[in-house]
Amino acid sequence: MSLIKPHGSDELNPLFVYDPAENEALLKKAEGLASIVVSSATAANAVMLGGGYFNPLTGYMNKADALSVAKSMKTASGLFWPVPVLNLVKDAAGIKAGATIALKDPNIDGNPILAVMEVKAVEEFTDDEMALMSKEIYRPRPEEAHPGVEAFNAQGKVCLSGPIKVLNFSYFQSEFPDTFRTAVEIRNEIAERGWKKVVAFQTRNPMHLAHEELCHMAMKRLGCDGLVIHMLLGKLKPGDIPAPVRDAAIRKMVELYFPKNSAMVTGYGFDMLYAGPREAVLHAVFRQNMGATHFIVGRDHAGVGDHYGAFDAQTIFDKEVPAGALKIEIFKADHTAYSKKLDRVVMMCEAPDHKKEDFVLLSGTKVREMLGKGIAPPKEFSRPEVAEILIKYYQSLQK
């Protein structure tokens, strides 16, 4: 059985220049080109395009495609796509359509060249168009600040569109050599392991017992032979746990509590958008591109604050994603927690006879407080070996 097809094409088309001689020659050429230091979001888009996660896109979208995607989740030519993939700048600095330019990395000292771009168009969004995209993509509650909307609008309104060739994977490959993987590499590893049905789990946090059990539950119910734990390695919001700590905690959990050859721990180079439902759909697109057949979408997936209803990121797949637009299937999960009555982790919706006090529930604030004091959360909440890694991290903050 062959792997699930990528989105929008028969073969995966990563935009990274894999041939070493060609990469080197292009880098040399790029040093003589006009250049711009791009935003962190634009750099993350380049990394995702390079790794094949954003298949079948060939580069950054133009204004017509971006507005069409914002309004209808389709590009102007009709390709299903949930979130605009843009190169936004405050000032095009004299760059004209037809130019070939170097894109420089904002996240590494010295701003090395990340990609080479053929500029097809230089266009400017109006304030109304920026507001429309912010509203449609992020769906913010107007009375509450939204970090994703703020980051999106801070980049500027000038849109540079056109195909790109990616020359490196920014800091992700050097900082996370054991974890960062392209969609190409994950597909290859799934094939090597002989997995047929694969479920992906997205995380930007360490995994507590409830997350671990949710993965076991999904694998069992779907009949999967493989799980890809896929960790976001890019920019988060202040207070989130840094990637190396999450990585160590998750690896320890997999080593001790998953059968051999049943779970892969990997990561991808992207900044969190906090776009809730639309981001959940984007997550599904790139999980299909990396070879997963199923994807877990839980409560308030990719949410922030009180902007979204608990299950908005699930209902978007039923109400707004056209039938057949994606080949990947969604595993819808409710909040999972340890039941004192049943002495195991359950999905809360599957325990209708339970009251709130029948579950072991701890707020993130409470857990952070305990870890900071060197106290491990109860074993019904967190594996002791995982808690140990997190305690060390939280205590190091107090020194």
CATH number of 20-173: 3.10.400.10
pLDDT of residue 266: 96
CATH 3.10.400.10 maps onto the chain at 20-173
Q: Tell me, rounded to whole angstroms, the distance of Cα 129 from its chain centroid.
A: 25
Give the pLDDT score at 294: 98
Of the residues 204, 221, 278, 368, which is catalytic?
204
Catalytic residue among 13, 111, 188, 205: 205
pLDDT value for 236: 65
Whether the Cβ atoms of residue 390 and residue 371 lie closer than 8 Å to each other: yes
112-142 pLDDT per residue, tens: 999 999 999 999 999 999 999 999 999 999 8
Which residues in the chain are classed under CATH 3.40.50.620? 178-396
What pLDDT, on a 0 to 100 scale, did the predictor assign at position 337?
93
pLDDT digits 0-9 by tens, 218-252 = 999 999 999 999 999 886 666 778 888 999 999 99
What is the share, in percent, of the chain residues with pLDDT greater than 90?
Answer: 86
Q: What is the pLDDT of residue 143?
A: 84
- What is the mean predicted confidence (pLDDT) over 184-211? 95
Question: Catalytic: 204?
Answer: yes
Per-residue pLDDT, averaged over 84-104, amounts to 96
Question: What's the chain's average pLDDT?
Answer: 95
Q: Comparing 179 with 238, which gets the higher pLDDT? A: 179
pLDDT (tens digit per residue) in 245-283: 999 999 999 999 999 999 999 999 998 899 999 999 999
Active site annotation includes 205 = yes
CATH 3.40.50.620 fits 178-396, yes or no: yes
The pTM for the full model equals 0.95
87 pLDDT higher than 90:
yes
What mean pLDDT comes out for the span 58-81?
A: 98
Average pLDDT over residues 313-332: 96
